[in-house]
Structure 1
Amino acid sequence: MRDWLRRVRQGLAGQGSDPGSRIARDDARRIDRLRARGVTIGAGCRIYTDQFSTEPWLVTLGDNVNVAGGVCFLTHDGAARLLAGRRPRLQVLGRIVVGSRCFIGHNAMLLPGTVLGDDCIVGAGAVVRGRIADNSLVVGNPGRVEGRASLYLEMLLRSPGAVDSFGLDEPDRRRMIELHFKEDGHGS
């Protein structure tokens, strides 16, 4: 038990072995590949998708942006192909710019011409187009601003599901989460 508590404390303090090192290495490789394709990526980003359309050089991510799996950055409108009879080479394109300290949830889609301000949260599955102000919480299809991201983050801090388990190795993480839910009366 003491050994387990020591490892948990070290993990929370960022000491000892890095249990997330494999994830960090995979993430660094993905970021290197995306930069090689032309995506502009700021410092401290975590990206879990490779879906940067056919014009990745039109996408810019600020610092400390977190992009979940399945997120799609779509920089063109494929419907322009329906005009091939009149303009055979026509493409309709748009830049996508994401500010710093943003989170983009699982399977969200950012469409051509989207500019996401700093400190924004895009909910899972949201489809976003246009200019989104700083500190916005965007959800739905079509994506709409439903509030301030800072208020949502404050709510998360008070959530009964809030557990400081990020970065722990899987056995310690599972033990901590199971203990958390057992203590709150919702565990086994």
Structure 2
Amino acid sequence: MNKLNPKTELDILKERGLIVGKNFNFFNSHIDYGHCWLVEIGDDVTITNSTILAHDASTKLQFGKSKIGKVKIGDRVFIGYNSVVLCNVRIGNDVIVAAGSIVTRDIPDNSIVAGNPARIIGKTSDYMEKHRENLKTKPVYDTYWPYKTREQIEKIRNDLEHDYGYDE
């Protein structure tokens, strides 16, 4: 958004027919501008540095037509950095798409997928339970990243020399 054009990219996509639910987090990502009206995104979804495509132009030169298909993303979905979701794909509820994944087919509820093409590697519920337990024993930091002091940063660096923790 800027002073000359107060509309964000997301505002424009919604005007063009993109459907999004509540608490949609859209960071440095791209949703198919020409076919955004074929994309539906549920509640509590985060998409980070990724691409959602509702068309496939591989047939355009040969036939003069692009393949198009709906993309439906359920509730409580996280799409990790540098992932691509191709057209005609449904992603269920409570799904984690690992960074760098290429989603070429439907993903059922409660799944973690990774790879190219993305394949199921686990259950979201198991993953969350593991981290719920780890939060009791691993280092946890509560200052949001832009407000960390140099001292806090140095402490975190030292704490995480041989393990991981959790941050705000």
**What TM-score comes out, normalization by structure 1 length?**
0.71
| 1:74-113 equivalences in 2 (<5 Å) | 74-84=53-63, 88=64, 90-113=65-88
CA distance in 2, matches of 1:174, 1:33: 40
CA 185–112 in structure 1, closer or farther in 2 if over 3 Å, else same:
closer
CA distance in 2, matches of 1:174, 1:80: 54
CA distance in 1, matches of 2:138, 2:8: 32
How much does 1:174 deviate?
A: 5.9
CA distance in 2, matches of 1:78, 1:135: 31
Alpha-carbon displacement from aligned partner over 1:113-143 (angstroms, at most 9, x marks no partner): 1100000000011000222110100100011
2:39 matched to which residue of 1? Answer: 59
The structure in which a higher percent of residues are helix is 1
- In the alignment, residue 95 of structure 2 is paired with which amino acid? C
The structure in which a higher percent of residues are strand is 2
CA distance in 2, matches of 1:146, 1:45: 25
- In the alignment, residue 133 of structure 1 is paired with which amino acid? P
CA 181–62 in structure 1, closer or farther in 2 if over 3 Å, else same:
same
CA contact (8 A) 1:30 1:50 kept: no
Structure possessing the higher radius of gyration over alpha carbons: 1
CA distance in 1, matches of 2:40, 2:109: 16
CA distance in 2, matches of 1:174, 1:41: 38
Report the identity percentage. Answer: 31
State whether structure 2 residue 22 is matched by structure 1 residue 43.
yes
User: What CA RMSD, in Å, does the superposition of the two structures yield over aligned residues?
Assistant: 2.7
SS in 2 for 1:132: coil
Alpha-carbon displacement from aligned partner over 1:142-174 (angstroms, at most 9, x marks no partner): 1101110122223334178763446x2623276
CA distance in 1, matches of 2:115, 2:51: 15
State whether structure 2 residue 159 is matched by structure 1 residue 179.
no
Divergent runs of 4+, >4 A: 159-162, 183-187
**What TM-score comes out, normalization by structure 2 length?**
0.78
The counterpart of 2:111, out of the listed 114, 118, 136, is: 136
How much does 1:52 deviate?
A: 1.1
CA 162–103 in structure 1, closer or farther in 2 if over 3 Å, else same:
farther
CA 186–74 in structure 1, closer or farther in 2 if over 3 Å, else same:
same
CA distance in 2, matches of 1:94, 1:174: 49
CA distance in 2, matches of 1:133, 1:100: 12
CA contact (8 A) 1:165 1:176 kept: no
State the aligned residue count.
Answer: 154
CA contact (8 A) 1:66 1:103 kept: yes
State whether structure 2 residue 114 is matched by structure 1 residue 125.
no
